Chain A
Amino acid sequence: MSDLRYTKDHEWVRVDGDIATVGISDYAQEALGDVVFVEVPEAGAEVAQGGEAGVIESVKAASEIYAPVTGEVVEGNAALDGDPALVNTAPLGDGWIFKVKVSDAAQLDTLMSEAEYQTFVEGLD
């Protein structure tokens, strides 16, 4: 199984040291359809767990991206500006959205494992 942790709002987190990379799940990108724009948080912004960190837009919908953990944003994915389709083609890879310096590692324990998330998603349909 992967090292990803998931939220109920369909974000995933991958932790490397105290830096967490955040993106949206494959299920989420599928549900949104063609992503046309991503408002990525800027480096230096403070985000709080469950708070709004950005916006992801398809042609006919806009959804907030919620921060899975509290911390300071260290990098937004600049590639999404020119190529928002990365969220569709590589949601778990090049389509990542931002990186955050985790201020409370314990928050990670509140997130779902990959298997838990799969079960969660199956329950939605």
Chain B
Amino acid sequence: MRYLPLTGDDRQAMLATIGAAAVDDLFCDVPESARLTEALNLPDHQGEIAVTRHMQALADRNVTAGDGPFFLGAGAYRHHVPASVQHLIQRGEFLTAYTPYQPEISQGTLQYLFEFQTQVARLTGMAVANASMYDGSTGCGEAVLMARRITKRKKAVLSGNLHPHYADVIETMTRFTDDHILRLPPVPQSGEDIAALIDQETSCVVVQNPDFFGHLIDLEPIAQAAHTAGALLIAVVTEVVSLGAVRSPGEMGADIVVGEGQSIGNALNFGGPYLGLFATRDRYVRQMPGRLCGQTVDAEGHRGFVLTLSTREQHIRREKATSNICTNSGLCSLAFTIHMALLGEAGLRRLAMLNHENAVALADAIDGIDGVEVLNSAFFNEFTCRVSNAAAVVERLAGQGIIAGVPASRFYSGLDDLLVLAATELNSDEDIDALASALQEAVQ
């Protein structure tokens, strides 16, 4: 067994030192009745060749996003990840490190977390960001709980165009607290008037931008209405590349910004692991969930970094902690930091414009098709079109090697004629042509 260094002789020698006759003597505290006496009905160990064969066979049964024209988004986006990102995050000193509780031998992790926090704060237009959450959806639930702690109010108003999984997660996380969640119905053509629903009981409004259907919205009037009523605006960004082209949520008045950072540095991975971005204003920092890295000096006066404000966290505060969260998405945040460092301001803006241009080209290519109508006037790299029986269209195109987008019916029963499509820098003109002609055929 290639992962186990002890030899038979080692085991005998160690047992002799311990004074045990057999290793089972060391399990003497396990009740006799509960010890497994028969082998489990599972295969025995296998070498790399056999395991690789098994896993490759599973992998081969999936169509990958790179196999053909691909236009799927809805909270996870296919982007180019530079080769150096994967190389660097696979370095053993990053990959096999623990949470940096021993700062003297964790400065590598701590410094990139500090860089990550700074990148996220600047992107979102906020003062501070934490060292990341599990993903955007759970971060969103945490933000609602945080707004309650700050405002001491219990009513959260969720936009109907918030990603439905995110809204589901908020409902789950508040199921056994006495929070009141007002979840609005989806408005695929945009135009929701959420500001009108904010009252003196409201702790927060949760609004996604670009929203689930791809619409870009001006958050400023919503922020104003929220602040007038003493409530907070939680802005949700599921496509972080959009921040290279669109005004930041902070600039538009958001109090907490929650994001899914997968787009930068991280693969699609069939849904995880992803990267929760979490940023807020300076004055709310002590109410934040999750790890925070801070700058300080060592005994010789040299700059160094430590995890700080830990008294918010479960390992110290236990049942009074701001959250039960323990991990962050360490390695995913490293991939983000590296990719963002490679992009820089210039690269990010260019990347964002390429996405937008491809999405506009896609929208123009299909909007002219009889039976297809694009609903969005303002969008970034994702939009919604009306097409009869979208699920059947997606299935049919998948049979032709084209992943067309996601039918809204996957999330909402009744919304059968809506298709949400995304385009990124990875889509070619040929991809767009292929989709347009296949779609034309499908709707005839």
Are A and B direct contacts in the complex by CB distance below 8 Å?
yes
Q: Which chain A residues have a beta carbon within 8 Å of chain B's beta carbons?
A: 37, 57-62
A59 / chain B contacts, CB cutoff of 8 Å? 310-311
Question: In the complex, how many angstroms separate the beta carbon of B100 from the nearest chain A beta carbon?
Answer: 15
Closest to B320 in A: A62
B317 / chain A contacts, CB cutoff of 8 Å? 62
Is B316 part of the contact surface with A, judged by Cβ < 8 Å? yes
Distance, CA A37 to CA B286, complexed state (A): 10
Pairwise interchain contact A61-B286, C-beta atoms closer than 8 A: no
Distance, CA A61 to CA B310, complexed state (A): 9
B316 / chain A contacts, CB cutoff of 8 Å? 60-62
A sample of 5 more A-B contacts (CB under 8 A), given A57-B311, A62-B311, is: A59-B311, A60-B311, A61-B316, A62-B317, A62-B320
B310 / chain A contacts, CB cutoff of 8 Å? 59-60
Distance, CA A57 to CA B286, complexed state (A): 12
Distance, CA A62 to CA B315, complexed state (A): 11
B311 / chain A contacts, CB cutoff of 8 Å? 37, 57-62
B320 / chain A contacts, CB cutoff of 8 Å? 62
Distance, CA A57 to CA B310, complexed state (A): 10
- What 9 A-B pairs are tightest by C-beta distance, nearest first? A62-B311, A57-B311, A62-B317, A62-B316, A60-B316, A61-B316, A60-B310, A61-B311, A37-B286
15 pairs, CB–CB < 8 Å, chain A vs chain B = A37-B286, A37-B311, A57-B311, A58-B311, A59-B310, A59-B311, A60-B310, A60-B311, A60-B316, A61-B311, A61-B316, A62-B311, A62-B316, A62-B317, A62-B320
Q: Give the dominant DSSP class at B's interface.
A: helix
Distance, CA A61 to CA B238, complexed state (A): 36
B286 / chain A contacts, CB cutoff of 8 Å? 37
Distance, CA A65 to CA B310, complexed state (A): 19
Distance, CA A95 to CA B317, complexed state (A): 24
Distance, CA A60 to CA B286, complexed state (A): 15
A57 / chain B contacts, CB cutoff of 8 Å? 311
Closest to A64 in B: B320
Closest to B306 in A: A59
Quick one: CB contact mask for B350-394 with A, threshold 8 Å, 1 for yes? 000000000000000000000000000000000000000000000
Most chain A beta carbons < 10 A, residue from B286, B311, B317: B311
Distance, CA A117 to CA B204, complexed state (A): 47
Quick one: CB contact mask for B75-88 with A, threshold 8 Å, 1 for yes? 00000000000000
Distance, CA A62 to CA B314, complexed state (A): 11
Closest to A60 in B: B316
A60 / chain B contacts, CB cutoff of 8 Å? 310-311, 316
B311-328: which residues lie under 8 A (CB-CB) from chain A? 311, 316-317, 320
Closest to B308 in A: A59
Distance, CA A58 to CA B310, complexed state (A): 10
Question: In the complex, how many angstroms separate the beta carbon of B322 from the nearest chain A beta carbon?
Answer: 11
Question: In the complex, how many angstroms separate the beta carbon of B166 from the nearest chain A beta carbon?
Answer: 31
Distance, CA A37 to CA B320, complexed state (A): 16
Distance, CA A21 to CA B399, complexed state (A): 77
Distance, CA A113 to CA B60, complexed state (A): 78
Quick one: CB contact mask for B286-317 with A, threshold 8 Å, 1 for yes? 10000000000000000000000011000011
Distance, CA A58 to CA B286, complexed state (A): 14
Closest to B317 in A: A62
Distance, CA A21 to CA B165, complexed state (A): 51
A62 / chain B contacts, CB cutoff of 8 Å? 311, 316-317, 320
Closest to B318 in A: A62
Distance, CA A60 to CA B308, complexed state (A): 9
Question: In the complex, how many angstroms separate the beta carbon of A81 from the nearest chain B beta carbon?
Answer: 11
Distance, CA A61 to CA B286, complexed state (A): 14
Distance, CA A59 to CA B286, complexed state (A): 13
Question: In the complex, how many angstroms separate the beta carbon of B305 from the nearest chain A beta carbon?
Answer: 15
Distance, CA A87 to CA B254, complexed state (A): 35
Quick one: CB contact mask for B248-287 with A, threshold 8 Å, 1 for yes? 0000000000000000000000000000000000000010
Closest to B321 in A: A62
Question: In the complex, how many angstroms separate the beta carbon of B102 from the nearest chain A beta carbon?
Answer: 14
Distance, CA A62 to CA B286, complexed state (A): 13
Question: In the complex, how many angstroms separate the beta carbon of A89 from the nearest chain B beta carbon?
Answer: 20
Question: In the complex, how many angstroms separate the beta carbon of A22 from the nearest chain B beta carbon?
Answer: 21
Closest to B286 in A: A37
A37 / chain B contacts, CB cutoff of 8 Å? 286, 311
Question: In the complex, how many angstroms separate the beta carbon of B299 from the nearest chain A beta carbon?
Answer: 15
Question: In the complex, how many angstroms separate the beta carbon of B288 from the nearest chain A beta carbon?
Answer: 14
Question: In the complex, how many angstroms separate the beta carbon of A84 from the nearest chain B beta carbon?
Answer: 12
Distance, CA A57 to CA B317, complexed state (A): 10
Distance, CA A60 to CA B311, complexed state (A): 6
Distance, CA A61 to CA B317, complexed state (A): 8
Distance, CA A37 to CA B287, complexed state (A): 13
